[in-house]
Structure 1
Amino acid sequence: MSAPLRLVIFDVDGTLVDSQADILAAFAQAFAVVGRPLPAPVDVMAIVGLSLDIAVRRLVPQISDADCAVMVEAYKDAYVALRASMPISQTSPFYPDCREVLNQLHAIPEVLLGIATGKSRRGLDHLIKGHGLDGLFVTQQVADFHPSKPHPSMILQAMADAGVDPAQAVMVGDTSYDMEMAAAAGVAGIGVNWGYHAPEALGAAHHVIDRFDELPAALDKIWSL
Structure 2
Amino acid sequence: MSSPSALLLDMDGVLAEVSQSYRGAIIATCAHFLKSGKVTSAIVSQKKAQGGCNNDWILSRDLIIEHKDSGAPEPTLEEVTGVFEDLYQGTGDVAGLCDLETLIPAKGLLQELRRRCPSRMAIVTGRPRSDCMKFLRLHGIEDLFDCCVVMEDGPAKPDAFPVKRACELLKIDPSTAVMVGDTPDDIRSAISAGTRGIGVATPDDYAKAVIGKSKFEDGALVKACLECGAEKVIEPGLAHLLDIFPPTPAFIRTPPPLSLYVKLLGPLNKLDAKITSSTLLTLLTTLTTPPVPPSSILPFEIVPGRKFCFFNFVDEASMNSVLESYESDSSLWKIEDQQLIIERRTGGNGPNPKKARGRRGRRGKGRGTD
TM-score by length of 2: 0.52
Residues 147 and 52 of structure 1, relative CA distance in 2, 3 Å threshold: farther
Alignment-mate amino acid for residue 44 of structure 1:
V
Equivalent positions of 1:9-24 (< 5 A) are 9-24=8-23
Change (3 A) 1:216 1:65: farther
What is the aligned partner in structure 1 of residue 186 from structure 2?
A: 178
Q: Which residue does 1:207 correspond to in 2?
A: 232
Q: Which moved more, 1:73-82 or 1:46-55?
A: 46-55
State the number of aligned residues.
214
Q: CA shift at 1:126, angstroms?
A: 1.2
Aligned partner of 1:51 in structure 2 is: 55
Unaligned runs of 5+ in 2: 206-219, 247-370
Q: Distance in 1 between matches of 2:74 and 2:54?
A: 17
- The residue matched to 2:155 in structure 1 has which SS? coil
Of the two structures, which has the highest relative contact order with CA contacts closer than 8 Å and spacing of 6 or more? 1
Match of 2:126 in 1: 118
Which one of 54, 70, 75 corresponds to residue 79 of structure 2? 70
Match of 1:198 among 221, 224, 241: 221
Deviates more, 1:52-61 or 1:10-19: 52-61
Give the match's secondary structure for 1:148.
coil
Q: Structure 1 residues 74 and 208, CA, compared in 2 at 3 Å: closer, same or farther? A: same
Residue aligning to 2:174? 166
Summarize the alignment of residues 6-155 of structure 1 with structure 2, pairs less than 5 Å apart: 6-38=5-37, 39-47=39-47, 50-60=54-64, 67-81=76-90, 85=95, 91-95=100-104, 97-108=105-116, 110-155=118-163
The alpha carbon displacement at 1:21 in A equals: 0.7
3-state SS of paired residue (2:143): coil
Q: CA RMSD in A?
A: 2.8
The answer to whether the Cα contact below 8 Å between 2:181 and 2:199 also exists between their aligned partners in 1 is: yes
The match for 2:345 is none
Deviation, structure 1 residue 218:
3.0
C-alpha deviation, 1:61, in angstroms = 5.1
- Residues in 2 aligned to 1:70 and 1:87: alpha-carbon distance in whole angstroms: 18
8 Å Cα contact 1:207/1:218 also seen in 2: no
Q: Which moves more between the two structures, 48-57 or 8-17? A: 48-57
Asked if the contact 1:43–1:59 (Cα under 8 Å) also holds between the matched residues in 2, the reply is: no
SS state at 2:144 partner: coil
2:171 maps to a residue whose letter is G
**CA separation in 2, counterparts of 1:87 and 1:40?**
17
Q: Give the distance between the partners of 1:152 and 1:107, measured in 2 at CA.
A: 27
Q: What CA distance in whole angstroms lies between the structure 2 residues aligned with 1:171 and 1:183?
A: 9
Q: How far, CA to CA, are the matches of 2:150 and 2:159 in structure 1?
A: 13
- Residues 179-220 of structure 1 show CA distances to partners (whole Å, capped at 9, x for unaligned) of 111111111011112357531111220122125211121345
Gaps in structure 1 of 5+ consecutive residues: 221-225
Distance 1:17 1:100 in 2: 15
| Contact 2:20–2:97 (CA under 8 A) maintained in structure 1 | no
In structure 2, relative to structure 1, the CA distance for the partners of 1:80 and 1:24 (3 Å cut) is same
* Contact map agreement 1:16 1:98 (CA 8 A) in 2: no
Q: CA deviation at 1:51?
A: 1.6
Write the distance in 2 (CA, Å) between the matches of 1:164 and 1:144: 22
Match of 2:312 in 1: none
Q: Which has the larger radius of gyration?
A: 2
